[in-house]
Structure 1
């Protein structure tokens, strides 16, 4: 449950980083009449992602026990690689995550564009939540669902306080903390993935995999982060 909660929190937060500034921007230009298209696109995106997630989970659960172990092992290795790509390689683009009502909104303000943007944003991030929770298909469905709901609710609450100005630390600090947590989750997934694919190797291969993943990844992340802060001094 804790893992799915963290994943849902991060992905939901990324959704809100796009949706909320759009809503604020529409209010600033006095086009509140267009907000309904964002809500509509977001709602359909949520429903579509739920339907897609149910289909994917049912297909995964229908696998035989041996095939399920192989599937889970491959998914964990794939997700650990995906985490590595997103938090290390993409950070080198040095794009700051600043929340401003008028920042980087380069979309033509039409009903269709707002609907499509909100739908694709919600659907893409929700699909990522589904993919990240696939390795835990053997857990109780209620635990997975509860973790997703709690994580999403927490991200909404934090975003609310950020925009109300009562949360003083920056979005970048939040993402740095989440990145460290994700690195540790990626290490656990990498180790468990190796263990699923090589069950005869015991816990040693799992621990070795965790260290092989976590140590260099944390080193690269901390090094990049320190470089960034030193440049600001």
Structure 2
């Protein structure tokens, strides 16, 4: 579970940084570093709100009866797998944005309120996604999951630093392509385990079949998209 939480944490934290770091750099460029505090404050409140939401959800899960708990956790797993699928679909768009420096900070209305809201929503949304991704497994693997989340966050910071300080930007697509393949695998496992939670009497055969039903078409669509992009580049 540590590797899974690390991958998910890295991706979500990297997305946060892709928005907030260029914005902070832009404020420095236009000599408005005084507004940076609203980004930091919004980020802190967003993180705090996501942690509170996660604790509330986790406590609700613990208070459920055993049968209802299985139903709830199975439903959460299916929701998470759908969220992963949604993230995979967005990868293509995200790569195009990254090719254009990923975030146009100059397009943001530079006011204290807008900076606070943007940073709050960015941190809250991505942090809550991490919570939902890891919630079904937290009770059994708390230490490995927390370690993975912290490791993923640190790795995202290091990669973002290299992204701006070196020529890594030229190969950023490799990072996102690799992340997509890993997310497909995680999504397939999560979907299979979610189905197994909802139908425990069906055994492992249903779980494995569900993994294949999720993973094979998703991987096919991703590879097809990559081949189309490659063909377009060759024709230019």
Bigger drift between 29-38 and 155-164 goes to 29-38
In structure 1, what is the equivalent of residue 54 of structure 2?
53
In structure 2, runs of 5+ residues without a counterpart are none
In structure 2, what is the equivalent of residue 137 of structure 1?
138
In structure 2, what is the equivalent of residue 177 of structure 1?
178
> Over residues 138-190 of structure 1, what are the superposed CA-to-partner deviations in whole Å (9 max), with x where a residue is unaligned?
22433322221111111111101111115364322211111110000011011
Deviation at 1:101, TM superposition (A): 8.5
CA distance in 2, matches of 1:104, 1:232: 28
SS in 1 for 2:107: coil
With over 3 angstroms needed to count, the CA separation of the structure-2 counterparts of 1:160 and 1:92, relative to structure 1, is: closer
In structure 1, what is the equivalent of residue 163 of structure 2?
162
In structure 1, what is the equivalent of residue 122 of structure 2?
121
8 Å contact from structure 1 (residues 25, 102) kept in 2: no
Deviation at 1:23, TM superposition (A): 0.8
CA distance in 1, matches of 2:175, 2:86: 19
In structure 1, what is the equivalent of residue 64 of structure 2?
63
- Does residue 210 of structure 1 match 2:211? yes
CA distance in 2, matches of 1:201, 1:134: 24
In structure 2, what is the equivalent of residue 32 of structure 1?
33
Bigger drift between 222-231 and 104-113 goes to 104-113
With over 3 angstroms needed to count, the CA separation of the structure-2 counterparts of 1:69 and 1:215, relative to structure 1, is: same
In structure 2, what is the equivalent of residue 16 of structure 1?
17
Deviation at 1:8, TM superposition (A): 1.0
SS in 2 for 1:117: helix
In structure 1, runs of 5+ residues without a counterpart are none
CA distance in 2, matches of 1:101, 1:137: 32
> Over residues 30-80 of structure 1, what are the superposed CA-to-partner deviations in whole Å (9 max), with x where a residue is unaligned?
221211111111111112211221111111122122212111111112221
With over 3 angstroms needed to count, the CA separation of the structure-2 counterparts of 1:206 and 1:148, relative to structure 1, is: same
Which contiguous aligned blocks of 4+ residues in structure 1 show a shift greater than 4 angstroms? none
TM-score (norm. length: structure 2): 0.90
Count of residues in Structure 1 that have an aligned counterpart in Structure 2 = 233
In structure 2, what is the equivalent of residue 191 of structure 1?
192
Deviation at 1:121, TM superposition (A): 0.6
With over 3 angstroms needed to count, the CA separation of the structure-2 counterparts of 1:16 and 1:90, relative to structure 1, is: closer
Bigger drift between 177-186 and 145-154 goes to 145-154
Bigger drift between 23-32 and 213-222 goes to 23-32
Greater share of helix: 2
SS in 2 for 1:66: helix
In structure 2, what is the equivalent of residue 103 of structure 1?
104
With over 3 angstroms needed to count, the CA separation of the structure-2 counterparts of 1:101 and 1:224, relative to structure 1, is: closer
8 Å contact from structure 1 (residues 21, 99) kept in 2: no
